[in-house]
Structure 1
């Protein structure tokens, strides 16, 4: 078990944890820090930190972190957990819905195998507009084939396989 500070003179706690994990993979590391911002926490977790405790927490919280980490779990201070969840949800919300409602409608119809003409008829728009939507969808998603659009639509729950 190693308890590290994020701001150490020679190496940061994250760098030290990365080195400890490389040299001794079974050693668990807890970071004791004053930094509660999501980028610090994310970096720490990426390099193998299994406990992230704020210096403002009580000694009982540190003991709980040690207990949880030694039992094979991960411990995040309560405020950190909320910050991570909020950051994840904000990113997930933005990344999971890059398309407008109309573009999702067009995507669903295309993924169901409809031609551009059929999409236009179903939505009451011109064929040219339907094709325009399709091209914008492909550009936004960086997908260049109908099969890719179908896979994306399935993953997004727009259609069933």
Structure 2
């Protein structure tokens, strides 16, 4: 894998230290700089030209979403990942609108963090499980047309799902998080994550936005 140069922007030194330590434990990641607010993030991105910008949402001078929006307008090649403690629909959709390639919560584990950076670096999008629930909910509330009945192909795809996977899919489409689904079904969060992964694989979708669209096509 190529070396991935990363710029960290967060107004808390302790957070930046922790992120730097986590990132530099990976042989292919290099932290090329640190900023403390959105304006510094913009300026340092233009000067350092990192592959990935990891930026917090709420900061002084300029917030992270406005910084990403500014960089998008400037057509920089740096790809941005918003890192936040907020999983509200408003923040997530604003981040997407600004041009962010990813949105991760600050309680994300190392494995998912590394996966997200690698995915975005390779041209993909990455939104952690609970944040994509808000995106799915927004798409549904946006009034997308749902077919009254599935096509024959749709029936074949639906038949691939187990009863439990279908049940979990309906919970997801109603905006429930993994933890909420686990509590409703009396299962562990890890079990729900496994079911979610399996149903996404069976329906050949890469994220929950695609899952929502596919579910609408299938008549859910």
Report TM bin, short chain.
0.5 to 0.7
Specify every segment of 5 or more residues in structure 2 that has no aligned partner in the other structure, as ranges.
1-51, 147-220
Does residue 81 in structure 1 map to residue 132 in structure 2?
Answer: yes
More strand by percentage: 2
Residue 135 of structure 2 aligns to a residue in which SS?
Answer: helix
- After superposition, give the CA deviation of every residue in 1:29-49 in whole Å (9 maximum; x if it has no partner): 000001111111111001110
Report the TM-score when normalising by structure 1.
0.55
Runs of 4+ aligned structure 1 residues displaced above 3 Å come to none
* Bigger CA radius of gyration: 1
Match of 2:64 among 13, 23, 26: 13
Please report the RMSD computed on the Cα atoms of aligned residues, expressed in angstroms: 1.7
SS of 1:53's equivalent in the other structure is: strand
Q: Distance in 1 between matches of 2:75 and 2:135?
A: 27
Structure 1: segments with no counterpart, 5+ residues: 98-161
Match of 2:106 in 1: 55
Contact 1:38 1:84 in 2 (8 A): yes
In 2, the alpha carbon distance for the partners of 1:56 and 1:92 equals 32
CA distance in 2, matches of 1:24, 1:89: 31
Cα distance between partner residues in 2 of 1:8 and 1:63: 24
Give the alignment partner of residue 28 of structure 1, picking from 63, 75, 79.
Answer: 79
How many residues are paired up? Answer: 95
Cα displacement (A) at 1:24: 4.5
Q: TM-score, normalised by structure 2?
A: 0.41
> What whole-Å deviation, never above 9, does each CA across 1:73-95 have from its counterpart, x for those lacking one?
110010111221022112326xx
Q: Which residue matches 2:142?
A: 91
